[in-house]
Structure 1
């Protein structure tokens, strides 16, 4: 299965691939050059297809567990001052997504969307310390009956040029469902209440919709 945000790009890639294969076959006489071009365009198509893949991961909603919103590696776990919404100190957990990761964003919790805002910005590499405040990004806050208000931020990376966010203020959302997409390399930051019991460690691999980031008893 492929994510709907990739349908147009996949179609364009298919047209380019078929056209290149046909042209290479008819216009390039040197066999090794012809085959090199054809293999290269097929690799290009495979990369596009794998980037927009959307694996189905059923989730049994549990208000006492906060799940990973995306695939990637946990690159930040620290107490920080969150200046946009809470304006106080929070526990930040950041997951970096490389271009080969699934880029679907999933709701980490069920609850009510209290805040959703898009910010245009720069395209620093996603692991840059200032990326959370200066890059193109969206900020979303979910109010959950167990965790309270949890903020997550989709952050574009150096290659990303479009963040898709489906969350709108007033929506009731369900844990694990599709929350959006970030195209071509990015990061997601979670801002949790201080004292939250984490279930992940720095540099650990996270799987969106499956890995449990935090728990409440």
Structure 2
């Protein structure tokens, strides 16, 4: 286990360091030049980046049958679909929309091995639109549990979110609730579950990555 590209014990994820350091450089240079207004704006921007890239610890449920949310945010989808590219059949889908103020670190819904990880180029439509799931840029991560079940996590970019960061690689084992990636500046994460799973959330519910039990194995 372990996410070398992610965060292990720090306040923010590693992907946030360039943003925070860049804002700090602006503050320093503006202060040297006597541009106080720009220095103040840079400081506010730096504080926002610290807030946005925060990575709080989560209490992972111990229930063996629990499947946890991959993202913080609001459930915008809880339906049944056919997922042909990775699962090749019917699946239950839960979609979580992250606004600009949600924690953007995404976590593994179940324990398992990363069977596939694929970056798919695309557009940057509003992530809550139905067509975004196929049209937008996205990162697909397929997890294979010890019991042989497959779960697909799809990180979908949006209008503001132009960068998807994956912390995992094929063959890597993830614990339930372990960090698997993040999307910079808002967007959406869909999780596709076997059709036999019991979904416990509905459209409009608020969830937390790694903590909220969104479904159970049956």
Q: Matches of 2:40 and 2:170 in 1, distance apart? A: 47
Contact 2:75 2:94 in 1 (8 A): yes
Give the structure 1 partner of residue 69 of structure 2: 68
Distance 1:200 1:21, change over 3 A: farther
TM-score, length of structure 2 as denominator length: 0.87
SS in structure 2 at match of 1:5: helix
Distance 1:172 1:37, change over 3 A: closer
List aligned pairs for 1:52-201, cutoff 5 A.
Answer: 52-59=53-60, 62-145=63-146, 148-201=149-202
Q: Matches of 1:199 and 1:42 in 2, distance apart? A: 42
**Shift in Å at residue 101 of structure 1?**
0.9
Q: Matches of 2:64 and 2:123 in 1, distance apart? A: 35
Contact 1:67 1:208 in 2 (8 A): yes
Contact 1:159 1:184 in 2 (8 A): yes
Q: Matches of 2:64 and 2:167 in 1, distance apart? A: 21
Q: Matches of 2:75 and 2:166 in 1, distance apart? A: 21
Contact 2:28 2:39 in 1 (8 A): no
Give the structure 1 partner of residue 28 of structure 2: 18
Give the structure 1 partner of residue 6 of structure 2: none
RMSD of equivalent CA atoms? 1.9
**Shift in Å at residue 62 of structure 1?**
4.5
Given candidates 15, 19, 29, the residue that maps to 1:9 is 19
Structure 2: runs of 5+ lacking an equivalent: 1-10
Q: Matches of 1:90 and 1:147 in 2, distance apart? A: 15
Contact 2:113 2:171 in 1 (8 A): yes
Q: Matches of 1:70 and 1:158 in 2, distance apart? A: 18
Aligned length: 208
Distance 1:140 1:62, change over 3 A: farther
Structure 1: runs of 5+ lacking an equivalent: 28-33
SS in structure 2 at match of 1:85: coil
**Shift in Å at residue 192 of structure 1?**
0.9
**Any idea what the Cα deviations from partners look like across 1:90-116, whole Å, max 9, x if unmatched?**
111000011111111111110122221
Q: Matches of 1:108 and 1:94 in 2, distance apart? A: 13
- Mark the structure with the bigger radius of gyration: 1
**Shift in Å at residue 147 of structure 1?**
7.8
